[in-house]
Amino acid sequence: MSALTDLTAAGDSSTLPGLLLSPPRLLEWAEAEQEAQRQYLSSIAATDLPTAARDAMYARAIDNLRDAPFSFGSPQFDAWATSASALPMLLWLSLRIKQPQITRSAAAELLIHHDNAQIIAAVLNHWGYRAEKKTPPRDGTEVGAVVADSPASESTGPRSSAG
């Protein structure tokens, strides 16, 4: 993607014909952070523990959020953004820039009816992540990973047109 494309959030329709995927703007990054936090809290609220233990975990999780663990560029945000649970949200945020009428559920439906591998790669690319194929180790445990596409070698966060 060129710098001009990044700055203008120009769309690309090669992945989903008739729909434009665009790189996220600052608003989309903020909403992605909020969604990561929401999913984090929801996972704790849904645990099958006694009420007192779940409430204590939930209070601790809220305290943890004060340190902004799901901020753009953090390892926690990167882990969330490259997870399957983030994909529908990131797809929707990338689509609604040029198609504000698209709903989140309509974007999620696209994942069911189209080539997931191509959509995943395109969405992650727009968000600054790239799939990196790795040679399987001798024991065959790791076959690939998603890494942040950042110019700094030590940075954990993806590149962004937003900042």
SS3 per-residue string spanning the chain: CCHHHHHHCCCECCCCCCCCECCCCHHHHHHHHHHHHHHHHHHHHCCCCCHHHHHHHHHHHHHHHCCCCCCCCCHHHHHHHCCCCCHHHHHHHHHHCCCCCCCHHHHHHHHHHCCHHHHHHHHHHHCCEEEEECCCCCCCCCCEEEEECCCCCCCCCCCCCCC
Mean pLDDT over 56-68 rounds to 85
* Of 160 and 114, more confident: 114
**pTM over 0.85, yes/no:** no
Report percent pLDDT > 70 for the chain.
Answer: 71
Give the pLDDT confidence score for residue 139 in this predicted structure: 62
Tell me: pLDDT of 154 over 50: no
- Give the mean model confidence (pLDDT) for residues 87-103: 95
Domain map of the chain by residue range? 3-148
